[in-house]
Amino acid sequence: MSRANLIGLIMIAAAAALYIQSELKKDSDLAGANQNDYPPDFIATQLKSRVYDETGKLNSRVQARSMEHYQALNLTIFERPTYSLYPNEGQSHWQLGANIGTLYNDTQQVMLEDQVVINAISPNEPIKSINTSYIELSLGDMIMTSNRSLTIQGDDFELQGLGLKADLNANTVNLLSQVEGTYYVE
């Protein structure tokens, strides 16, 4: 190996090490941040908000007991949020509630935690409710995911499982593992 190749290899390794170190520092800065490091830019109580798609149709509504917005972190934290979702241009209607919610404004990802309840408001939905401790929702494509245990209830069945992927636009719900079910026959 020539001296020039060895020097080039050392420079590439040093650049990669510096990049990894800066990424780790950035992650640890955000992970170690607390509310004292980043006070909220504004706080709202009894919040009600509506979000419309690019064609002007109602996409979602959110209500919350309180909301804190952190511009530097590009996120909003909700206390007792309730999201009403209108996928498929309002064809089906879902309502999600939890004790804590976090909206990542740049990606329109919502994380709901602590006593998460998802209810189908439309009477024609086969699934009536989903209960779990944590769920993520992409408001852009109406995809819900979770890696926690959950219970799904319908008119004549109850399912338990671990992990979920649901596409509200396609009206599909998949339990990912450890699925057990009870069906009620009349």
Q: What residues form DSSP beta bridges with 18? A: none
- DSSP annotation of 184 reads -
Cα separation values, 162 from 67, 87, 99, 146, 165, Å: 30, 25, 21, 8, 10
Task: Return the structure tokens found at 179.
Answer: 């699925």
> What pLDDT, on the 0 to 100 scale, is given for residue 140?
82
> What pLDDT, on the 0 to 100 scale, is given for residue 175?
85
Instruction: Report pTM.
Output: 0.72
pLDDT in tens, the chain (186 residues): 566 666 766 767 666 666 666 666 655 555 555 545 778 888 888 988 888 777 877 878 889 999 988 888 888 899 999 988 887 766 667 889 999 999 888 888 899 999 999 998 877 778 889 999 999 998 888 889 999 999 989 888 888 989 989 888 887 888 888 878 888 877
> What pLDDT, on the 0 to 100 scale, is given for residue 94?
83
Please state which architecture CATH assigns to domain 42-183: Sandwich (2.60)
**In 3D, which of 141, 137, 150 has the Cα closest to residue 177?**
150
